[in-house]
Amino acid sequence: MDFNVCLTTDDAGLLFNGVKLPWWDQNYDALFTISDVWLIAGRLFHLPGDYLFRGIIANAPGLATFLELDCSAIGDVASGLISFIAWFFFFIFWGIIMIMLADHS
C-alpha cells in the first residue's frame, strides 16, 4: 500500500536560505510561533481523513475517480469531517477502555 501520493512541500520540507526547515516550522518563517502550533494541530486533526484519501488515491484509482478525489481533497472539509468522526470514535473507544480499567482497579 502506497500512501505517499499528494505529498507537498509541507511534507517534504522546504529550503530556506539553503537550509531545510524543521517540521515544526509549518509556515516557513524560520521561527516557532503560535501560528506553527495552530498549523500542526490542524494537520494532526486531518490525519485520519488525509490518510484515507491518500490511500484511496494511490491504491484505488477507480474509486478515487468515482468519488472525484484528487490531491486537492487533502486537508479539505470532507477530510475534516471524516477526521472528526474518526477522532470521535477513537476517544469514545479510549474512554470505554479507561472506564473498564478503572472498574477493575
Q: Pick between residue 16 and residue 93 the one whose CB is nearest to Ca ion.
A: 16
- Contacting residues toward Ca ion, per CB under 5 A: 25, 27, 29, 31, 36
Residue with cell 507537498: 8
Sign of CA dihedral 67, 73, 78, 79: positive
End-to-end C-alpha distance for the chain, whole angstroms: 41
Q: How far is the CB of 23 from Ca ion (least distance, A)?
A: 11
Q: Pick between residue 11 and residue 29 the one whose CB is nearest to Ca ion.
A: 29
Q: How far is the CB of 78 from Ca ion (least distance, A)?
A: 27
Q: Pick between residue 27 and residue 65 the one whose CB is nearest to Ca ion.
A: 27
Contacts of 2 (CB under 8 A, 6+ apart): 58, 59
Q: How far is the CB of 76 from Ca ion (least distance, A)?
A: 23
| Residue 45 phi, psi dihedral angles, 5° rounding | -60, -45
Q: Pick between residue 29 and residue 70 the one whose CB is nearest to Ca ion.
A: 29
| Residue 41 phi, psi dihedral angles, 5° rounding | -60, -40
Q: How far is the CB of 41 from Ca ion (least distance, A)?
A: 14
